[in-house]
Structure 1
Amino acid sequence: MELRQLEYFVAVTEEASFTKAAARLHVAQPGVSAQIRQLERELGQPLLDRSGRTVRLTEVGAAVLPYARAALAAVEGARLSVDELTGLLRGHVTIGTVDWIRSLELPSMLAGFHRDHPNVEITVTQDDSVSLVNGMLSGRIDLAFISLGSERPEGLRTQVVIEQELYAAVEPGHELAGRSTVALRTLATRDLVSLPKGTGLRAVLDEACADAGLRPRIAFEAAEPPVLAQLAAQGLGVAILPESAARAYADELHLMPIVRPRLRGRIALAWRAEGPRSPAARALISRARARWPA
């Protein structure tokens, strides 16, 4: 039994396809198939059901899978331990971020990290906060900047790096455009333009409305504040925006802090509380925490 066979087996299982697994591994598909057939011959049982449109685990395959993953993890852990003891920092780190952050200057931090550790490959992925949290919990993402509601996600450690008020933004002809502030109860009776569920800012809005016994009327959802601002500018509703995003449209929209209660959104650096992290991931987390102290 070879580690390569276990690696191929895990890849096919995760991709549910020999073709996708081969592309992920950067090898030819026949080679993947041949190695897994050899593994099945050595174990004396089929590990994969190839009869359907997607590849599925057999009962024996499901029993073998956790051991295959554990073996691969043990080998990777041994390599990382040697690297750490010899002071060599290499490997791969994935950092996630919600789409709309501009003020963090993340590329500048990553450029400095790359200069200090050129052997570390870095992947940046953008997604909503729920997907980023799931990615960190599963180990696919090492650290991420996420928007927070009132609760910190279980299984993660967080460090708040941005905290700002939420604003309501309307086009100049809107009925609310003469106000300097707007109460949450007033907003709940208007058409709102908001980030979708799964974002921290939407969680802040929904939680505040629930606490006040209100049900917000969400007319439009969009994944990025600039799109929300554009929809509000067309008179399609009241955009709910973080202050930094709202200020960028002060010339086009009338801006009002949300009051009674005042709503505040938070962006936090987050990483997994438990489980193995590579030396490269630990180094990047330390760099980010120092760059954006709480």
Structure 2
Amino acid sequence: MWKAQVFLKAVDTGSLSKAARYFGYTPSGVSHMMDAFEGEIGFPLLVRSKQGVSPTPNAVRLIPLIRDACGKDEQLTQVISEVKGLATGTLRIASYASVASEWLPEVIAAFHKDYPRIKIHLFEGVWQEVANYLANRQADIGFYSYFPTIPYRWVFLRKDPMMVAIPPNHPLAAQSSVSLDQLADETLIFPAYGADVDVLRLIEGSGVKVEYSISTLYNYPAFRMVEQGLGLVITNRLITQGLSTKMALLPVEPASSIDLGIAIPAESENTPAVERFVTYAQRIIPQLP
């Protein structure tokens, strides 16, 4: 499955050179490998240009099957290694950036101490990005917030309260909490380009009409805008941890929270590395500040 794994990396990065660096090959070596892979398949898989590579229409049909085959091969490798008494393999984790920075370092540190032979790849993103990593089989498990349509086994970890980030000199900053109806006439900054799942669920459930004036992809640039007095941000508390900021952070009234946890696709079930990492996360994360 090695050629297939290199092919997937080339598709994911859009570059044969990046795939070569990732696996420690030369670009020409990867190019010859892809030529051989296409020869084995029987038709072209990659469109090559000065801008990089992209999958052909026929390759697009094969990619989900190739990802599944590579996942099964990795699962088989891990089980064989476990039987031999060797904990080896690769674990691919998709996660909210806040979870990746505030919670996962301690989990990974403990896990890596016990299983140093297991390689870990961490992908960060907003809700939709984590969901796409899982749907495309680029990640084995995902750390993000619960949503009823998630089609995977869900492992709850912790609740996280919703907050409002407010410029320090704003009149609302003197309050102990902020209600959503108080935000109706305020300038709001929305992460995820206005499609933040957690924020939208909070607003839709309140019946209050709240609209954004500025949007960003990630929360951290939005917080910097709050510090400059450009607007307010509705967020969850974990995202604000570890920030050196001048913002006022007030809870939403009435109190509201999101459920953070782990989504485990059926294809990842019974994979030794996944099972072990989930166990470590369940033990460590609920005890963190």
In which range does the TM-score fall when normalised by the shorter chain?
0.7 to 0.9
Partner AA of 1:274 in structure 2: A
1:88 aligns with 2:86: yes
User: In the superposition, relative to structure 1, how do residues 37 and 249 fare at CA in structure 2: closer, same or farther (>3 Å)?
Assistant: closer
Kept after mapping to 2: 8 A contact 1:9/1:36: yes
Instruction: For residues 34-92 of structure 1, give each alpha carbon's deviation from its aligned partner in whole angstroms, at most 9, with x where no partner exists.
Output: 4555566667x543475866454475x67877776666555444433322222321011
Q: Which residue matches 2:275?
A: 282
Higher helix proportion? 2
Q: CA deviation at 1:227?
A: 4.4
Contact preservation (8 Å) 1:46, 1:58: no
For 1:251-290, list aligned pairs within 5 A: 252-259=246-253, 261-266=254-259, 268-277=260-269, 278-290=271-283
Moved more, 16-25 or 82-91: 16-25
Q: Are 2:144 and 2:262, in contact at CA under 8 Å, matched by a contact in 1? A: yes
Query: Once superposed, what is the RMSD of the aligned Cα atoms?
Result: 4.0
Tell me what 2:188 maps to: 192
Rate the CA distance shift 1:243–1:39 in 2: closer, same or farther, 3 A: closer
Please identify the structure whose Cα radius of gyration is greater: 1
Alpha-carbon distance, 1:275 to partner: 0.9
Q: SS at 2:204's partner residue?
A: helix
Number of the residue aligned with 1:170: 166
Show CA shifts across 1:166-216 (max 9, x none).
Answer: 2334334423345433321221221123333587xx434323333444332
Quote the Cα distance in structure 1 between the aligned partners of 2:239 and 2:3.
Answer: 50
Q: How does the TM-score come out when normalised to structure 2?
A: 0.75
Q: Displacement of 1:279 after TM fit?
A: 1.4
Secondary structure, in 3 states, of the residue corresponding to 2:188?
Answer: strand
Alignment match of 2:121 (pick from 120, 123, 135): 123
Contact 1:205/1:263 (CA < 8 Å) preserved in 2?
no
Question: Structure 1 residues 156 and 65 mapped into 2: Cα distance closer, same or farther (>3 Å)?
Answer: closer
- Superposition pairs of residues 1-294 of structure 1, within 5 angstroms: 18-35=16-33, 37-38=35-36, 45-48=42-45, 54=53, 56-57=55-56, 72=70, 75-101=73-99, 104-148=102-146, 151-197=147-193, 202-222=196-216, 227-243=221-237, 252-259=246-253, 261-266=254-259, 268-277=260-269, 278-292=271-285
SS in 2 for 1:218: coil
Q: Deviations over 1:227-246 (max 9, x none)?
A: 44443333222232434666
Q: 1:16 to 1:109 in 2, by over 3 A?
A: closer
Change (3 A) 1:132 1:37: closer
Aligned length: 284
CA contact (8 A) 1:137 1:155 kept: no
CA contact (8 A) 1:92 1:121 kept: yes
State the TM-score, normalizing by the size of structure 1.
0.74
Deviations 1:114-169 (A, max 9, x none): 11111111223322222122212333223333134xx2452223333332332334
Give the percent of matched residue pairs that are identical in Structure 1 and Structure 2. Answer: 21
Change (3 A) 1:20 1:162: same
Distance 1:8 1:255 in 2: 45
